[in-house]
Every structure is written in structure tokens, then in C-alpha cells.
Amino acid sequence: MSDDRGVWAYAITADPGDADLSRLTGVAGAQVRTAPAAGLTVLVSDVDLNEFGEAALRRNLEDLDWLEGLARAHHEVIAAGAKLFPLLPTRLATVYSSDESMAAVLGGRRNELAAALQRVGGRVEWGVKAYAIPEAGQPGAGRHEPAAAEGGAGLAYLKRRKAQLSAQAESQRSAAAGANAVHGHLSGRAAEARLHPPQSPQLSGDKRPMMLNAAYLVDADDGAGFASEVAAAADEHPELDLNLTGPWPPYSFAGDEDEASG
Amino acid sequence: MSTTRELAPADVPSQRIALVDLLDRVLAGGVVITGEITLSMADVDLVTISLRALLASVSALAEESND
């Protein structure tokens, strides 16, 4: 095998059965194949280490277009596999020098990985984001402004400004409490729940404060039920704009940290 | 209206998935198994490198639109 060849891992499954992956391509358009590893099966493709080795990756990941292409190619393979069998997505940029060295690493974690596959089997991930709606949930909204006569224009301005600031703070508090309640409720509906950090407004393009960025692991056949819970929560919480994404392969629940908050 | 539904049927092409939602998952989710080739690319490292790319790109766009 050439020294320049590496193996890119997409996902781990217990058994892909007779799934036909022959038309599936991954990063850099390479043919996806299965590789046995410690009694499990890994979806992989071969990559050129001149482009996907560590030093090259560090350099290339700084290029947003390159990163986007890579993330989407990685996801396409995982999403296609997830339709066919239960799987654990692997973190982006997991690269080995050969199938054999990959099998050696996985061998040490076989039981843990098999248990994780059990947890996510038959389930999908739904994403729920909540944004604070600035005008909503302000009890003082629409109030009369203090009359200017009560001590001059300057004082009136200060009073107005103070009222504005406290209304903003109240609005934030109300949105945070709402997001907390929504998360508690949806966690109760899910097998597991996980919180992602709020997305940067610069990156998402949405300037409103993000109060919740959560993922929920839900039975695959309960998608409609979960979506209607989210819709009901949206009706109950006019101070929030709730945004549902999915179904996703179980990215947020593939890890070994047991921080389910269900 | 306070819900935005993005109920993606299973066949939705990933082009329609917001990149920022995808990056939440592929950079911070997924099972972490040490790749011997990418051994020292720790979790935080990966996210940091990529966020730097995103921010650089965002500010490049902002500069273009200011010109």
C-alpha cells in the first residue's frame, strides 16, 4: 500500500447486512467501502494523505469552502448509511493509515461501541433551536412614556432609558426561562438529550439571541409526535421562535459521555 | 407565527441543511476514536481551526460588502 494512502472513517455499524453501497461516494469523490474492525463494520473510503493527512487537514480546514465540501461529503455517506442500518457517525477527520491499524484501535473499544449502537438503534436525532423574540414577553411593552413635565426632558429620557433596559432584561429572563421549560419538556419526550453551545450570530446569520441549541434522541417512528410537541411548545411560548431540524443521524449521541438529561 | 419548521424528509439533499447546523454535529458530535493519522487533532482543536475559517470568511464577506 502506498505511503500516501489513508483510510477515512465515516461511521461504525454492527452489521451492514447486504446493503449495497457500490454507488456511494465520499470525500473527494472516492468510492465508499466497508471494512471489518473488531467484530464491527466501518464505512470508509481511501483518501490521499497529501490532502487529508494531519498537516494538510489543518491547512485545508481553514478554507471555509473546503470545510463545507468536506462536511457535506462526510454527512452524505453517514445519512445514506443511516437509512439502511443503525450506525454511529465518527467525528469529522478520523483518519488511519490502513484498515488494520483502524481495527486495532477499535478493538480496544469494542464493547463500548456496541453498547452505543444499541442505544441509538431505531432512533433518530432532532435538533431544536430557540431564539428570543425581542418584542415579546415584555410586560411593559406599549406602556405610556413618563411625561416630560416631571422634572425636565433629561430626567424623562433617563427614566425612559431605564424602563427600556429593564424591559430588555425582563425579556431575556423570560426567554431564558421559556427555553429552559421547553428543553425540560422535550427531554422528557426523548430517550436522551444533549445541549450544543449557542451558535454564533455571525455564523448563523441570525442576530437574535439563541436561547437553546439542543439535540434529542427520539424513536424513529415518533418523529411526527415529537414535531407536534415542538409545535405545541411554540404556541405556549410566544417569547421564543422555535426551529426544528432533522431527522439527523445520531451525531450528538454517538459519544461516550453519558450526559443524557432526560 | 413562532415556529419555523424545517422538517427534512429523509431524502432532503444535504445542500439544504444549514452549514452551521451541520458543523455543530460533524465537528462536535460523532464518536471520537483516535485516528492514528489525525492523532493530535483534539476535539477543541478541530472546532477552533474550523471556526477560525468561518469567522475569517464572514469578515471577508463583510469587507467585500463594505467596499
Whether B37 is covered by a domain: the verdict is yes
pLDDT for the residue numbered B11: 46
Structural domains in chain B (count): 1
Instruction: List the single residue in B with minimal CA-CA distance to A73.
Output: B14
Q: How confident is the model at residue A39 (pLDDT cuts 50, 70, 90)?
A: very high
Residue A237 has pLDDT above 90, yes or no: yes
Residue A144 has pLDDT above 70, yes or no: no
Give the model confidence (pLDDT) of B35-58 as tens digits.
Answer: 777 765 655 566 677 777 777 776
pLDDT for the residue numbered B39: 64
pTM of the entire predicted model: 0.84
Give the model confidence (pLDDT) of B7-35 as tens digits.
Answer: 444 444 555 799 999 999 998 899 988 77
Residue A161 has pLDDT above 50, yes or no: yes
| A135 vs A150: which has the higher pLDDT | A135
Query: Cα dist. A81→A18, A21, A249, A262, B34 in Å?
Result: 12, 8, 9, 27, 22
Q: Give SS3 for A124.
A: strand
Whether B4 is covered by a domain: the verdict is no
pLDDT for the residue numbered A152: 80
Residue B30 to residue A91, Cβ atoms within 8 A: yes
Provide the 10 A C-beta neighbour count for residue A91: 25
DSSP state of A191: S
Whether B2 is covered by a domain: the verdict is no
Residue A91 to residue B5, Cβ atoms within 8 A: no
Whether B6 is covered by a domain: the verdict is no
Contacts of A224 (CB under 8 A, 6+ apart): none
pLDDT for the residue numbered B65: 64
Which residue(s) pair with A63 in the sheet? Answer: none
3-state SS, A227-256, equals HHHHHHHHHHCCCEEEEEEEEECCHHHCCC
E strands, chain A, where? 5-13, 33-37, 40-48, 88-89, 95-96, 123-132, 192-195, 210-219, 240-248
Give the model confidence (pLDDT) of A72-102 as tens digits.
Answer: 999 999 999 999 999 999 999 899 999 999 9
User: Does A25 lie at the interface with B, CB-CB under 8 angstroms?
Assistant: no
Whether B52 is covered by a domain: the verdict is yes
Give the model confidence (pLDDT) of A41-60 as tens digits.
Answer: 999 999 999 999 888 988 88
Structural domains in chain A, CATH included, are: 5-120 (no CATH), 123-253 (3.30.70)
B20 neighbors A151 (Cβ within 8 angstroms): no
Report d(CA A208, CA A198) in Å as an integer: 11
What domain range includes position B20?
16-66
% of chain A at pLDDT higher than 90: 73
Whether B11 is covered by a domain: the verdict is no
pLDDT for the residue numbered A242: 97
| A181 vs B58: which has the higher pLDDT | A181
pLDDT for the residue numbered B4: 46
Residue B56 to residue A248, Cβ atoms within 8 A: no
Region A198-204: mean pLDDT is 84
- Indicate the residue of B6, B35, B53 with minimum beta-carbon distance to A245: B6
DSSP state of A145: P
Report d(CA A121, CA A189) in Å as an integer: 17
B 23-52 → A contacts, CB under 8 A: 23-41, 43, 46, 49-52
User: Does A137 lie at the interface with B, CB-CB under 8 angstroms?
Assistant: no
Cβ burial, residue A16 (10 Å; 0-12/13-18/19+): middle
Residue A89 to residue B36, Cβ atoms within 8 A: no
A244 neighbors A215 (Cβ within 8 angstroms): no
Residue A262 has pLDDT above 60, yes or no: no
pLDDT for the residue numbered B8: 40
Residue A214 has pLDDT above 80, yes or no: yes
Residue A228 has pLDDT above 50, yes or no: yes
Q: Compute the mean pLDDT over every residue in chain A, rounded to the nearest whole number.
A: 89
A86 preceded by a cis bond (ω within 30 of 0): no
Looking at residue B27, its amino acid is L
Give the model confidence (pLDDT) of A167-180 as tens digits.
Answer: 888 888 999 999 99
